[in-house]
Structure 1
Amino acid sequence: MSSAIKEVPVHLPKSFDRPDEPWHHYLTIDVIWYVLGYTLFHPFVSWILVLCLRAQYTRYEAPEMRIALAWALLMTTIGIFGLINDKIAFGSPREVDLSEEVIVITGGVEGLGGLLAETYGMRNANIAVLDTKKVDEDEAEEKGVVYYQCDVSNAKQVEAAAAKIVEDLGAPTILINNAGLVHTTSILDSTAEDVEQTFRVNTLAHFNTLRTFLPHMLKEGRGTIITVSSVLGHLGAANLSAYTASKAALLALHHSLRAELAQNPDAKEIKTILVTLGQMSTKMFAGVKTPSNFLAPVVTPAEVGKDIIRLIERGESGEVALPLYSRYIQILGVLPIGVQLLVRKLSGIDGAIGKAGLAKRDGSEKK
């Protein structure tokens, strides 16, 4: 009995393609927080400390035992609270079988979308990519991905592509709205065409795909919708007004979508995932320097993709916010205005595009 093994071309990074960084470059607050989450802040490890003290015949009245017990109880309480909170917020997970799912990814030729498409393609999942870029048929076959040349900002093109997807692969059940565009110009230097194009690709395209693919999910009685936004949607930034405004609109769209699905009895098994990213190492913001590699590291598509795939395949709703500060950036909005301005100045957020030499008329990049 034999089974066919799919050969997948792999291009490993060459050592000279990566800068020779010192070891401390890779030590970030995200790494520290991750390690603490699986050690000192983990309920299981906390109780192991208690057991170790008891193994040494430490009395319960001893100060070190009381501290260890209090810490273990605190971590357990926080853990249980987190589980209850997620249950209330996102409900029970749905069952996901990749062989029965049809995944649609917008902007899936390069960057984060490309990584997700190729990852699922290697696993023989049913993948449909909508992108304006054309992909050679041989390359598509190698990757195990079906590409449809489509401008997602055009509702008619999305509808036509959807009809082909249903005919070729089946009813779409997972939608990853990833396509994005940025114009790095000031408000005064921007044109009406620049702003309109940014909103059509970054925001209106989501309405096009939702109106087209959500009915299929409702009919199937299951689905997952991923909205890729940006931390800049909370902050805004100089020379990125159209981009940040379009990403802020996605935050409101995501919450509105969740509210409408909650009112629809046919949408109980439709999950939603909000992705809020800081700076990611893609072509879109190539050349932009992070103000602090320790506090605000540049995340890779692999890191983001791993978290998105985990939630999709667990059948869960949720949020993916990377790096760490992205999870708590909304706290900045409740601080006094003077403190907010000081934080912005220290972070260099409003000067990043100018320092990278990207603040120019008609300077645009696509994902």
Structure 2
Amino acid sequence: MRILLRFLLLLPLLLICCLESLIKLFIPKKKKSVAGEIVLVTGAGHGIGRLTAYEFAKRKSRLVLWDINKHGIEETAAECRKLGAQAHAFVVDCSNREDIYSSAKKVKAEIGDVSILVNNAGVVYTSDLFATQDPQIEKTFEVNVLAHFWTTKAFLPAMMRNNHGHVVTVASAAGHTVVPFLLAYCSSKFAAVGFHRALTEELAALERTGVKTTCLCPNFINTGFIKNPTTNLGSILEPEKVVDKLMNGILTEQKMIFVPSIIHFLTLMERILPERFLALVRQRIQIKFDAVIGYKDKAQ
């Protein structure tokens, strides 16, 4: 009974917060400057990571670019330099903790303290549980989740000392709602979203309010990693559109970015609507892509 009364006493505050959020929807938020900031982007040799690096380069940030692909990362760095930014390319295997730590040590010694960390590197295997090999499952978690821990442990202390910085988690809509034949990927992205939310709360508890956090959760993107994706949620996203939303979110310090925004509505639906209705909604959405199915019905 006491708990119920305490919650009822919070209702006026809830109304005030809702009104405040509504008003903020109509007031453009001022974008912060990232000129001169040391920005590290993992998985910067292609796709979202590469385009994100270009956007920071246009804003005169100092770029530290990591990728396992030497040719790809050097191409990204060269283009960033053409855009007028300093860019440093490192070949780093984000599935290897020691490689991350040793590379982070080099960055701090040769370039300085990273103030914006974009954890973008990721892998995906489109297959059911039985067709996904054990090493593939391990690599999915090593790159999509564990690498976030190692990079953040390496670069966050300087941000906390200065009470200034930004940690960006590139997750996925699959970190909020599940999709068949992406079991390992969905699980890793749920963990990535959890990492972002827990880190956000931990920074608040430690009173490091100057260190910001942002999490990106897009639907299917046209990067070629998932073959022939289709969905009734709309057309497959172009990387440029997603990066535009990401940069706006970083510069205005949004905590969670859904692309398209209807994904946010769908995640709320999953929490409050009956399972039978949700099953019908999933049928209507019709998410499809090429996948390897390893399960064979023994009765066949």
Range of TM-score over shorter length: 0.7 to 0.9
Instruction: Give distance in 1, aligned partners of 2:55 and 2:163.
Output: 26
Q: Which moved more, 1:319-328 or 1:240-249?
A: 319-328
Q: Relative to structure 1, is the Cα distance of residues 286 and 124 closer, same or farther in structure 2, using a 3 angstrom cutoff?
A: farther
1:214-249 alpha-carbon deviations (Å, 9 max, x no partner) = 112112320011111111222211111000110011
Q: Deviations over 1:129-181 (max 9, x none)?
A: 11111037576334323211111222211111112222332210001111110
CA contact (8 A) 1:231 1:329 kept: no
TM-aligned CA deviation for residue 300 of structure 1: 1.7
Q: Deviations over 1:199-220 (max 9, x none)?
A: 1111111111111111121123
> What residue is the counterpart of 2:230 in the other structure?
289
CA contact (8 A) 2:34 2:60 kept: no
What code does the residue aligned with 2:268 have?
I
Residue 272 of structure 1 and its aligned partner are, at CA, apart by 0.7
Does the residue aligned with 1:146 lie in a helix, a strand or coil?
strand
Which residue is equivalent to 2:292? 359
1:261 aligns with 2:194: no
Please list every run of 5 or more consecutive structure 2 residues that lacks an aligned counterpart in the other structure.
1-16, 82-86, 295-300
Which residue is 1:81 aligned to?
21
Give the whole-Å Cα distance in 1 for the aligned partners of 2:267 and 2:239: 23
Provide closer, same or farther for how the CA distance between residues 152 and 240 of structure 1 changes in structure 2, counting only shifts above 3 A. same
Does residue 346 of structure 1 match 2:287? no
Give the one of 105, 121, 145 matched to 2:57.
121
Query: TM-score scaled to structure 1, two decimals?
Result: 0.67
Deviations 1:241-277 (A, max 9, x none): 0001100111211111011000113x12001111111
Residue 183 (structure 1) shift: 1.0
RMSD: 2.7
Question: Is contact 2:167–2:213 with CA below 8 Å preserved after alignment?
Answer: yes
Larger radius of gyration: 1
Match of 2:139 among 197, 203, 209: 197
| Structure 1 unaligned spans of 5+ | 1-76, 86-91, 362-367
- From the superposition, tell whether residues 205 and 322 of structure 1 become closer, same or farther in structure 2 (CA, over 3 Å): same
Q: Contact 2:57 / 2:63 at 8 angstroms: preserved in 1?
A: yes
Task: Report if the CA contact (8 A) 2:45-2:74 is conserved.
Answer: no
**Contact preservation (8 Å) 2:245, 2:259:** no
Deviation at 1:95, TM superposition (A): 5.6
Distance 1:114 1:189, change over 3 A: same
Structure 2 distance, partners of 1:168, 1:160, is 12
- Cα deviation for residue 311 of structure 1 reads 3.1
Distance 2:173 2:54 in 1: 26
Deviations 1:13-60 (A, max 9, x none): xxxxxxxxxxxxxxxxxxxxxxxxxxxxxxxxxxxxxxxxxxxxxxxx
Aligned to 1:330: 267
Equivalent AA in structure 1 for residue 216 of structure 2: V
Per-residue CA distance 1:319-351 (angstroms, 9 max, x = gap): 2111122121212312111111111122222xx
Query: What's the counterpart of residue 275 of structure 1?
Result: 216
TM-score by structure 2 length? 0.82
Residue by residue, what CA displacement relative to the aligned partner does 1:261-303 show, whole Å, maximum 9, x if unpaired? 00113x120011111111111121242123x2xx423222211
